[in-house]
Amino acid sequence: MARERIYLDYNASAPLRFEARAALLAALELGGNPSSVHAEGRHLRSLIEASRDEVALLVNARPADVVFTSGATEANVCVLSQDWDTIFISPVEHDSVLAPARIRAKTAGSHLIELPVDGNGLIDVAALATVIAAGKRPLGRALIAVQFANNETGVIQPVAEIAHLARQHGVACHTDAVQAAGRLAVDFAALGVDTLALSAHKLGGPKGVGALVVRDGFKLAPLITGGGQERRRRAGTENVAAIAGFGAAARAALAGLTGTARIADLLANLERAVVEITPNAVIFGGGAPRLCNTSCIGIKGSQSEILVIKLDLAGLAVSAGSACSSGKVAVSHVLTAMGAEPDAARGAIRVSLGPHTSAAEIDTFLSAWRTIHELKPEVRQRASGHFETSERAAQAALAMGDK
C-alpha cells in the first residue's frame, strides 16, 4: 500500500481548496464571453464581479481597485515596468520584482537603489528615510517596492511605515503580498500603499490567476493592451473559471484567518524540536515578526537538496532554501542579503504549513528529521533497507539534476 504523503510546502503552492475546485468546475461548464451583452455573457460577468468582491474583501480594498491578472508575477512586472525614474528595492524581494527593476535600470536608465537589510532580512525604515533624503539627484517619478512577507523566511516587513515614509516624499509604494494574504490580516486601505500583488494558488485557488490592487486615482499604464477588459487596465478575455476559483479561495482564506494561532503553535513546536534534535540548526529570520506558517531552517555541513530529497523519500514535501541552475548550487539571494553564514545557508530548507496541517504530521516530520540527522556515518554504511536506499537515491537524484 502506498504511503500517504505529507505536504509541507504551502508557500510554493497551496493545495486547491474544495470551494475553489467546485467554483472552477461549475464555471467551466458555462459558455459565452463575459464581454457579451446576452444572457450567457451577463452570467459570466456576474461571476467575475462576485469574485472581484471576494478578493477585495480579503485585503479590504474596493472591488473597483482589483484588476485580475495571470498571477502575481504579471502584477509585479506591470508595476515595476512603469516609467520610473528611481526605484528603491531590497535584495530580499522575489525575482518577479528584482528582475523587472534591474531590466528597467539597464534598458531605460532608471536609478536603481538597493536597500540593505539586517540579519533578519528587515528593512531599516530610518535608514531608508536617510537614503531618500540624501539623494544626490532628483528622484523624479519614484517607486519603493517592498515585499509584505518573504517567501523563504516568512519575515514580515513594516510595510505601513514604509508606505507612510514614501507618501511624505512623494514616492509611490508597491507591495508583493502574495505570501501574506490568507495567512494574516491584510488591509490595503490602512497600509497606504498604491499597489498590491496577489496570487490565487498561494491561498488555495487555481494556478494561473492573480490580481493587482490599484489605489483609486493612481495612474498605471496597462502591461497588456488590445482590449477594454478590466476597465482597460488589462486586456484579454478573462479566465472566468480561474477567477471564480480565486474568489471562492479568497472567501475561504478570509474565514480561515481564525485558525492561524493553531498553525503558529504547530510551527513553534516544530522549531523547538528541530533545535533540540539538531543544536547546530539556524532559524533564519527568527528574531523578526514572521508568518505563522513559515520556517527556514539551516543546517551547517548539509546540502539543502539532499535534505529535501531524503524528506521526499520519507513521504514529506518541503522546499530547498537554495536554487539550482545549470548544475551549480547557489545560496539563496535572500539568505545572502541577510548575511547568513554560507555553510548554514547551503543547508537551508523551508517548511511551510497550511490550514490542514496536523500535529501528527509535524510529529512525522520530526521523526524523519531525527532519523536523517542522528545516524552516524559508520551506522549509515551498515544500515540496510529504507535509509540506505534513500541515501543512494538522494545522491543519484542530485546527480541527475546536475546534468
Q: Classify 285 in phi/psi space as left (phi over 0), alpha (psi -120 to 50) or beta.
A: left
Show the cell assigned to 329.
548550487
* Sequence-distant (≥ 6) Cβ neighbours of residue 127 within 8 angstroms: 115, 116
- The secondary element (H helix, E strand) that includes residue 143 is strand 142-147
Strand ranges for 39-181 from DSSP E:
66-69, 86-89, 111-114, 142-147, 172-176
> Parallel, antiparallel, or unpaired for β 172-176 and 142-147?
parallel
Residues 176, 148: contact at Cβ < 8 Å? yes
Show the cell assigned to 131.
537614503
> Parallel, antiparallel, or unpaired for β 316-317 and 319-320?
unpaired
Show the cell assigned to 401.
539534476
Query: CA 162 to CA 126: how far, in whole Å?
Result: 9
Closest CA to 214 of 71, 26, 78, 398: 78
Tell me the three state secondary structure of residue 249.
Answer: helix
Show the cell assigned to 43.
452570467
Options 78, 292, 296, 324, the catalytic residue: 324
In the beta sheet, which residues pair with residue 142? Answer: 86
Does 324 qualify as catalytic in the annotation? yes
Provide the annotated active-site residues.
324
